[in-house]
Structure 1
Amino acid sequence: MSDTLKSLLASHPEAAPAIGAPERDWLSYGGLRALADEVSGSLHDAGIGRGDRVAIVLPNGPEMAAAFITIAQTAVTAPLNPAYREDEFAFYVDDLKAKAVVLMADDDGAAYKAAKKLGVTILRLSVNNDAAAGQFTLQTDVTGSCDTAAPEASDVALILHTSGTTSRPKIVPLLQSNVAASAHNIATSLALTADDRCMNVMPLFHIHGLLAAVSSTLATGGQVWCAPGFDALRFFGWLRDCDPTWYTAVPTMHQAILSRAPRNAEIIEAARLRFLRSSSASLPGPVMEKLFETFGAPVIEGYGMTEAAHQMCSNPLKPGAQKPGAVGVPAGPEVRIAHEIEPQLTDGAIGEIVISGPNVTPGYENNPDANAKNFFDAEGKRWFRTGDQGTFDADGYLSLTGRLKEIINRGGEKVSPLEVDGVLSAHPAIAQVVTFALPHPKLGEEVAAAVVLREGEDISERDVRDFASERLADFKVPRKVVILDEIPKGATGKLQRIGLAEKLGLVDTAS
């Protein structure tokens, strides 16, 4: 089995198509390997090599996919959300200790300003008008020396931040072997072959798109066709033009697709979809059933998270083997139920879901407290606590029954409530704030905040949201702000986020 990203691509035929995009020629596997060599040379010339960290801030599309795959064969990749504000970029680039930031040639926005202030090398990505999908060149004025050895299986390939229960996001390093193992796990559970074509509509700064769509496809010699993001109005045109055998998306995307399906019946009829995949948030059972009814193809719900290099469980591919409301059976790592407090596995019906396997991160970077809380040893293995509560049924299917952590899952985007607290607390009129999850019919959860004002202050919900929107990416901005005289406390006097929406009588207003 391949144990590095480079070895994933090594054996596929030179002329076979690898990366595609709307109105672009296909980049072949030979072309992708040649691009990796060119990128390696450019990075080495700039003094960036094995172990050095490269933040990637690019729009969704084939260049982002190719940049991740090629840069990770030389250095450490750290994709960042292009929608971040300057302060967010400054935090993440500094926290990562990035040596360089990759930007489009004409990007002088927030990421550029943050990189300039930090004195980080800027690598400019250029695309020729007639270039194949994903083909690009990297340019910089900086030169230097570095370790030019190729990364090994035990080297870090990908770094992502995950929102934690502290205000500071945790750094998740994923090894070359973690990424390769996860790509193989996903490909195996979906029975992917070189004949498959994935249409990617997922953001490529997120583990779902990077691993489920791009890496698993390229591991099997298939084709990944990269849309410029998700757009329900353009989806069916892309479906016609791409002619994929599958696509993967989050539940909100699937729901938007279903809303436009009736007027695109001819395209659906002509489609050759072998299956549809959903992950990153729970897919409501009725949505799974409606997707199957609409497309006539199995809907495979997967259960994943960043620390597992994405996939942990998956519904089986065999027609009729999918269980609406269940996230499937273990599909790669070993998945067990553990005591929610004690460091031990249990045979109990309900408990915390834990995982162990070659796709699981070795641990959070420079965060011994988080590692002590989230990892434990049992039965000769190292187990990671997912923070989710669940149970297995008699057939071995896992269902999620609750969350033990306070993270807000907004349609697959994870939001740390304490991060939002920290931003809103800086408002001069706010004395106290608690950010919490508000149930939402499509997103699963929405971001909300309860606020207590300082004596004599008078600001509106709109004022609070505007303040947040200048400092946070849009998906983190509270959509509901409740201004209170006092925030309800639990029995011990502590502010409790979980269940706060119910306590404030907001649940019905979210639907």
Structure 2
Amino acid sequence: MGNVGNWNFADLWEVVADELPDAPAAIHGDRRITWADFDRRADGVAKTLLDAGLERQQAFAQYLYNCPEYMESMFAGFKGAFVPVNTNYRYTADELLYLWDNADAGAVVFHGCFVDTIDPIREQLPKVKVWLWVDDGSGPCPDWAMPYEDAAASATERTIPDWGRTGDDLNMLYTGGTTGMPKGVMWRQDDLAVVLTATLGNPLSDEGSAADRRGTYNQPGRSFLPACPQMHGTGNFPGLSALTDGGCIVTLTDRHFDPVELLDTIEREGVNVISIVGDAFGKPILKALDANRGRWNLASLVGITSSGVMWSKEVKQGLLDHHPNMLLLDAFSSSEALGMGSSISGMGQTAETAKFELTENSIVIDENDEPIAAGSGEIGRLAVGGRQPLGYYKDPEKSARTFLHINGGRYSCPGDFATVEDDGTITLLGRGSVCINTGGEKVFPEEVEEALKRHPAVLDAVVVGVPDEKFGEAVTGVVEPREGESIDESALIAHVRETLAAYKSPKRIVVVDTIGRAPNGKVDYKRLKAEATETLGVS
């Protein structure tokens, strides 16, 4: 299909700011930022980036916990025709260095608590022209950075770059690749805006631009609270949609998820929609509701959305028992394949675990790229057409493997496998790879295995995910020691923590006599996962 629209988030949000200047755009504890201030502050940050010499469509990285500055700095990036880039705040210095170098980042906005992580690698990032420091009370602004508030206050008029803005301007979301190294998923803003607003009462048309929306923002849109991190698509993409609807982003102040704070905030601010990551968030919320029955008035809450990890039928039903007048949307999507499928649960009907309705653009294909027949029991790969990303930044090989041309159409096929039931619904089986999903974070075994094998006591290692009540899956190292060596579990885990983020490091270590690699070097992950699960006594 031809994508001829010219939707651009900066243009759209400037229309909202013009028409709803006094409506809230961001709420964070006691802080309230109106649309007029949101627009003005983003102008200041955009001007700062332009003055620093960033080039058109150069990356601008957000290294932040959830806060108003997250979407505000993205707005600034869109205004200057720069490319916002998410940054996992759990990364170590080496991982940050790889990410920002790979993205060709020209600027980074960061919370003050990350100063000590950034400082040792700054000089290895010569493309970064300006560091914007967000005060979080953790210490003073370093002399190599500029206070974000100074940047936000620097504009006296709307910032529009000489090179202009278009619907071809990018938004880039980094996600894990099959090798474990992050990959930048390149979305045209026009495509992303149309896809994300498709379910709104006033969706964006296939052809149009921000000028067409003038006069349509008669009242504020819905308020949205990302309970999960804004650095991930599940917490970020719905925020783009909410702001395009003239709404407000409400963020929690505690950096560690607290279901009581979440429920207090929903009641206090009249939040309409929240996003979570499956049972990892759903179970603590349900536990808080069960322990405090009747404490919260959740009348404003019309929906909970989730994507990225299993959301069980039992947890959905428990949430609906407390608040039946809402819908639960379990979206089956990924950063590089939005809109593959979904399930909706409401009063009287709770969707089964891992069961989804395909969207009109989605298909399940066999190894010959032919559609799989419903009820056949055959396992196939999911693919979704329509508006999808351009590809992965600086990785044409991975792009060619993921974005396929099938029967005259272009499809995104990131590697999720499923069966098609008689009624046309699908049962999701998971990634064809051995990716571990722990609390909504992707962990790729190869990266962790290499870290384990660098320990002098380890001869060989495989990493699997075993069932875990809190995280869904717990990263577990299956280790074969060198002859004569013994394995100290805590020391080995600490060894991995030296080079990898905490969520990637094993929670447990299982020692085996032999990994049992085949002559070609491959391992039986299924067997080792079962062995680890049995050894640890989990199910």
Task: Tell me the TM-score normalized by structure 1.
Answer: 0.88
1:34-183 matches, cutoff 5 A: 34-74=40-80, 75-104=82-111, 107-119=114-126, 120-126=128-134, 136-138=149-151, 148-160=162-174, 162-183=175-196
Does the 8 Å contact 1:18/1:28 carry over to 2?
yes
Give CA-to-partner distance per residue, 1:476-496, whole Å, 9 cap, x none.
111121122211346976213
* Aligned counterpart, 1:219: 244
- Give the match for residue 11 of structure 1: 15
Give the residue type in structure 2 aligned to 1:237. D
Which AA in structure 2 matches 1:227? L
- Quick one: structure 1 residues 181 and 504, their matched pair in 2 at CA, closer, same or farther if it must change by over 3 Å? same
Determine if contact 2:197/2:203 at 8 Å carries over to the other structure: no
Q: Which runs of 5+ in 1 are unaligned?
A: 130-134, 140-145
Q: Partners of 1:322 and 1:491 in 2: how far apart?
A: 47
Judge conservation of contact 2:264–2:296 (CA < 8 Å) in 1: no
1:24-68 superposed Cα distances (whole Å, 9 cap, x missing partner): 12x222222222322221110001142111222122211122222
Q: Give the secondary structure class of the aligned counterpart of 2:419.
A: strand
* Structure 1 residue 249: Cα displacement: 0.5
Q: Which amino acid aligns with 1:121?
A: K
The equivalent position to 1:466 in structure 2, one of 464, 473, 494, is 494
**What SS is found at the alignment partner of 1:386?**
coil
Counterpart AA for 2:26: I
Structure-2 separation of matches of 1:188 and 1:397: 26
- Return the match for 2:409 from 358, 381, 399: 381
Does structure 1 residue 301 correspond to structure 2 residue 330?
Answer: yes
Aligned pairs, how many? Answer: 494
Distance 1:510 1:167, change over 3 A: same
The 2-side partners of 1:124 and 1:371 are apart by 32
Other-structure match for 1:355: 384
**Secondary structure of 2:537's match?**
helix
C-alpha contact 1:190 1:317 (8 A) present in aligned 2: no
- Match of 2:446, SS? helix
Tell me which amino acid in the other structure corresponds to 2:382: I
Identity of aligned residues (%): 25
Cα gap change, 1:501 to 1:188, in 2 (>3 Å): farther
SS in 2 for 1:11: helix
Whether contact under 8 Å (1:163, 1:407) holds in the other structure is no
Query: Does the residue aligned with 1:185 lie in a helix, a strand or coil?
Result: coil
Task: Name the aligned partner's letter for residue 306 of structure 1.
Answer: S
In the TM superposition, what is the alpha-carbon distance from 1:503 to its structure 2 partner?
3.8
Contact 2:332 2:341 in 1 (8 A): yes
Query: Which residue of structure 2 aligns with residue 132 of structure 1?
Result: none
User: Deviation at 1:293?
Assistant: 0.7
Q: Check conservation: 1:21, 1:62, Cα contact below 8 A.
A: yes
8 A Cα contact 1:300 1:315, kept in partner = yes
Per-residue deviation, 1:284: 0.8
After superposition, the Cα gap between the structure-2 partners of 1:86 and 1:22, relative to the gap in structure 1 and judged at 3 Å, is same
Take 1:327 and 1:10, find their aligned partners in 2: how far apart are those partners?
Answer: 39
> C-alpha displacement at 1:381, in angstroms?
0.8
Matched with 2:357 is: 329
CA-to-aligned-CA distance 1:198-232 (integer Å, 9 cap, x gap):
122221111111102x1111111122211134222
What is the CA-CA distance between 1:361 and the residue it aligns to? 1.4
Q: For residue 198 of structure 1, what is the aligned residue in structure 2?
A: 224
Whole-Å separation in 1 of the counterparts to 2:482 and 2:202? 54
SS of residue paired to 1:152? coil
Contact 1:198 1:245 in 2 (8 A): yes
For residues 422-469 of structure 1, the C-alpha deviation after alignment (integer angstroms, 9 at most, x for no partner) is 222222222211112212234322211112222333331111101111
Q: Which moved more, 1:175-184 or 1:381-390?
A: 175-184
Please give the alpha-carbon distance, in whole angstroms, between the structure 2 residues aligned to 1:281 and 1:326.
9
| Residues 304, 312 of structure 1: 8 Å contact kept | yes
Amino acid at match of 1:509: G
| Contact 1:5–1:179 (Cα < 8 Å) also in 2 | no
RMSD (Å) for aligned C-alpha atoms: 3.1
CA distance in structure 1 between the partners assigned to 2:252 and 2:236 by the alignment: 13
CA drift of 1:366 comes to 2.8
Does the C-alpha gap of structure 1 residues 170 and 441 become closer, same or farther in structure 2, counting only changes over 3 Å? same
2: distance between equivalents of 1:265 and 1:190? 37
TM-score w.r.t. structure 2 length?
0.83
Q: 2:419 aligns with which of 391, 401, 418?
A: 391
Q: Aligned to 1:425, which of 449, 453, 464?
A: 453
- The verdict on how the C-alpha distance between 1:397 and 1:343 changes in structure 2, with shifts beyond 3 A counting, is closer
User: Does 1:482 pair with 2:488?
Assistant: no
- Counterpart secondary structure, 1:159: strand
Aligned to 1:231: 258
Report the CA distance shift for 1:458/1:499 in structure 2 as closer, same or farther (over 3 A): closer
**1:377-436 CA-partner distances (Å, limit 9, x unpaired):** 112111121312223445544331343121111121111111112222222222211112
Tell me, in whole angstroms, the C-alpha distance in 1 between the residues paired with 2:341 and 2:202.
9
Residue identity in the other structure for 1:180: A
Q: Which runs of 5+ in 2 are unaligned?
A: 138-147, 153-159, 205-216
CA 1:81–1:381: 2 relative to 1, 3 Å: same
AA matched with 2:25 = A
SS in 1 for 2:479: strand
Question: Cα offset for 1:111?
Answer: 2.6
Task: Give the Cα–Cα distance (whole angstroms) in 2 for the partners of residues 82 and 505 of structure 1.
Answer: 30
Cα deviations by residue, 1:301-323 (Å, 9 ceiling, x for unpaired): 11121112x54323347755652
